[in-house]
């Protein structure tokens, strides 16, 4: 039997048995090498899921897989690939073709900061490919399988910046707006077939994301707390804003006109950027 977290631990899923029964036995977690993805993988393994770990770094995934096997006595498959490429997506689908996957957690993604025209356009396009195209392809591929089996779950990640344009992280905010709208659109379509869709919109999270985006985030949510709140909301809500800070900021922004929301988040995000844009 899979080992369990300590009773009462805040790191344990409240609905562990129910999630496994509804969405098991296998879960695919993209972006599993760090941050929210790694935390989701750990929580799902603790709940008894067999897990497919997907990210670019083979060595990191292998270490994580060894830890999950040892701690939770579950099966773990490692798929090292770059989902921003069509070849990487096809590699994932081929690697999971024979597995009874019931849950997709699409946590892979990255962002950039700075003036759009000063950034490398290849990075901007790769971000769209990973944050948007790969999510659509994975949701379509596994969603079809889930509808055939009459049950399943899809979890995707937008952001607190998804609800308005944000200067100096324009492409990232736009990709997350796409994910938010996409999830809201497919949720009622798939619900009738027994498939649950959830979009999680966290604020700043302590992970490798900030370093890649060249940001310094002084106050950020614990990835494990974000992952737990997200997975506990699956099947219950359309959108979850994990963490008190994200909920408060989301409420404050929801009461403001769109241009005001843009101005507020421009100031907030500007405080995180290492390479400050000209005044």
Active-site positions read 172, 176
Per-residue HEC secondary structure of 169-227 comes to CHHHHHHHHHHHHHHHHHHHHHHCCCEEEEEECCCCECCHHHHHCCECCCCCECHHHHH
- CA dist 86 and 17 (Å) reads 35
SS3 235: coil
**CB within 8 Å of 202: residues ≥ 6 apart:** 36, 157, 159, 160, 221, 226, 230, 241, 242, 243, 246
Q: Which residues contact 35 (CB under 8 A, 6 or more apart)?
A: 107, 205, 206, 207, 208, 209, 223
How many CB atoms within 10 Å of residue 55?
25
Quick one: which H or E segment has residue 69? helix 58-72
- Residue 268 to residue 109: CA distance in whole angstroms: 21
SS3 106: strand
8 A C-beta contact, residue 199 and residue 238: yes
Token digits of residue 32: 């599993």
Report whether 143 contacts 160 (CB < 8 A).
Answer: no
CA distance 75 to 54: 14
Taking phi over 0 as left and psi of -120 to 50 as alpha, with beta for the rest, 150 belongs to: left
């Amino acid at each position: 039997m899979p080992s369990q977290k300590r009773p009462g631990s805040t790191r344990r899923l409240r609905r562990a048995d129910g999630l496994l029964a509804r969405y098991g036995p296998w879960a695919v977690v993209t972006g599993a090498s760090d941050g929210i993805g790694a935390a989701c993988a750990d929580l799902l393994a603790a709940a008894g899921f067999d897990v497919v770990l997907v990210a670019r770094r083979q060595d990191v995934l292998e270490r994580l897989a060894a830890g999950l096997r040892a701690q939770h006595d579950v099966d773990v498959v490692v798929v090292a690939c770059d989902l921003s490429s069509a070849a990487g997506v096809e590699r994932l689908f081929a690697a999971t073709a024979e597995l009874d996957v019931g849950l997709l957690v699409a946590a892979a993604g990255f962002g950039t900061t700075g003036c759009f025209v000063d950034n490398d356009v290849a990075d901007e396009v790769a971000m769209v490919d990973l944050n948007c195209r790969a999510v659509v392809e994975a949701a379509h591929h596994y969603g079809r399988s889930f509808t055939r089996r009459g049950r399943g779950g899809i979890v995707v990640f937008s952001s607190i910046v998804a609800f308005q344009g944000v200067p100096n992280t324009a492409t990232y905010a736009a990709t997350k707006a796409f994910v938010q709208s996409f999830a809201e659109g497919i949720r009622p379509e798939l619900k009738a077939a027994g498939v649950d869709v959830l979009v999680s919109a966290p604020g700043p999270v302590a992970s490798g994301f900030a370093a890649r985006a060249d940001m310094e985030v002084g106050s950020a949510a614990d990835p494990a707390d974000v992952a737990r709140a997200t997975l506990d909301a699956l099947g219950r809500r359309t959108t979850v804003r994990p963490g008190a800070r994200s909920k408060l900021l989301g409420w404050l922004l929801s009461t403001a006109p769109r241009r005001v929301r843009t101005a507020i988040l421009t100031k907030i995000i500007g405080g995180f950027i290492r390479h400050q844009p000209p005044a």
